[in-house]
Structure 1
């Protein structure tokens, strides 16, 4: 149901016109590695990945790099990597996960918003928020079910480094 994705497109368009927060890579509490708390995932235990690690790093020249590493329930490891300027511009994602394109923006301190797409179709919107103490991060995922119903889930991450 293609019309179900229009709210995501409008949100991405609105983000494109919004000013980026002036947070440098050197000062961002998002930088580092984060491991999902698999016990808090909403999927049934047998379907949960064994691990999910997201690493945000400074790629130089105002660019960031995101690497997502997932160990699936069967033990197979997959990853996705993207290098981008966090200004809301769409950039390619390499790897074998949920997206082949992403647009990322830092709207305020400790917050990152990412829009994902695959094969030219909108996927999900994700908001990452780091706790004031910098030890935990929540990921709020906005997506649409196969029936076109909007849904949300929250994933909880702990800082690895």
Structure 2
């Protein structure tokens, strides 16, 4: 299996991260905890599917992300999706937020993930499938602690980067 050179992953990541910073503007960084167990990212987040840029009948019925402390400095990420026809997918990965790749179980989008935490309220995720970078995602918890913005960058038509934002609300 081949992986993208780290420089390519970082280039996509930095481009996407720069756009996500505006979502967190005004967040008092010193007030945010740095340990995974006390990070504002830890918890379950539900996607506002009504804001997805697709026809309502094609939108997933639900998407829930859960970020957790797996111990030993590692993060566990669970993604539960119920697609429009009712098919369910439950993916999980455990990774160290240091940019190294880890396997993802049961994801239709990716087989490996790399994480970085440039700020306590920000998680950068690079998703690969068969050694090809599929997308970079930046999760930013807003200052209210109840809302999260996912900035997604992925290759669109003619490999032109596409960027979109998804909006989540804290479930717990």
Q: TM-score normalised to the size of structure 2? A: 0.81
Q: Which residue matches 1:9?
A: 9
CA distance in 1, matches of 2:71, 2:99: 17
CA distance in 1, matches of 2:13, 2:44: 29
Is 2:37 aligned against 1:26? Answer: yes
Q: Which residue matches 2:150?
A: 139
Q: Which runs of 4+ in 1 moved over 6 A?
A: none
Is 2:115 aligned against 1:101? Answer: no
**Match for residue 134 of structure 2 among 123, 139, 142:** 123
The offset of 1:125, in angstroms, is 0.5
The offset of 1:96, in angstroms, is 2.9
The CA RMSD over aligned residues, in Å, is: 2.1
Q: TM-score normalised to the size of structure 1? A: 0.86
Contact 1:38-1:51 at 8 Å conserved across structures: yes
Is 2:96 aligned against 1:82? Answer: no
Alignment of 1:56-67 (within 5 A): 56-67=67-78
The offset of 1:26, in angstroms, is 2.1
Contact 1:8-1:124 at 8 Å conserved across structures: no
1:147 aligned counterpart, secondary structure: helix
Is 2:53 aligned against 1:47? Answer: no
What stretches of structure 2 of length at least 5 have no aligned partner?
1-5, 15-32
Which structure dedicates a bigger proportion of its chain to helix? Answer: 2
The offset of 1:43, in angstroms, is 1.6
For residues 7-61 of structure 1, what are the alpha-carbon distances to aligned partners after superposition, in whole Å with 9 as ceiling and x for unaligned? 84342698xxxxxxx8211220000000000111112211110000000011111
CA distance in 2, matches of 1:104, 1:125: 10
The offset of 1:93, in angstroms, is 0.6
